[in-house]
Amino acid sequence: MAPLEGKKLGLLLSTPPSHPNAETVSQLSKTAQQAKVQVYLYLIDEGVKNLENPIIRELTHSGVKLSVCAYGCQQHKVSTEGYGQDVTFCGLVVLSQIVSGCDQFIAFN
């Protein structure tokens, strides 16, 4: 078994798609998945705008668990319609569970 296989990585993204953090989170997620690490991504604040960002949305197709702050969507007028089971709209309780349940947690602010 690879040393990272089965580990859990939590990521928080609070910056908009125009910020370089979106690309960094995308690349880090892909690299972690190649090492068979489970990736949990939480979008908050202006990060909810990345829900419409193709580089972030494609991560759900490769197995990244994407959670999005429902309140942040309301505040930034980001639609929560039409995402199906690929996206979980939730509150800070879920973020707290990600932080406590992952082996590593990194915030991109």
Domains, the chain, in order of start with CATH, read 8-108 (3.40.1260.10)
pLDDT in tens, 8-60: 999 999 999 999 999 999 999 999 999 999 999 999 999 999 999 999 999 99
8 A C-beta contact, residue 10 and residue 43: no
CA 28, 19, 12, 79 torsion-angle sign: negative
Over residues 59-68, the mean pLDDT reads 95
Mean pLDDT confidence for 83-89 = 91
Is pLDDT above 90 for 1? no
What pLDDT score was predicted for residue 2? 62
Give dist(CA 40, CA 10) in Å, integer: 5
For residue 93, the Cα-to-chain-centroid distance in whole angstroms is: 15
**Secondary-structure breakdown of the chain: helix, strand, coil percentages, each rounded to the nearest 5:** 45, 25, 30
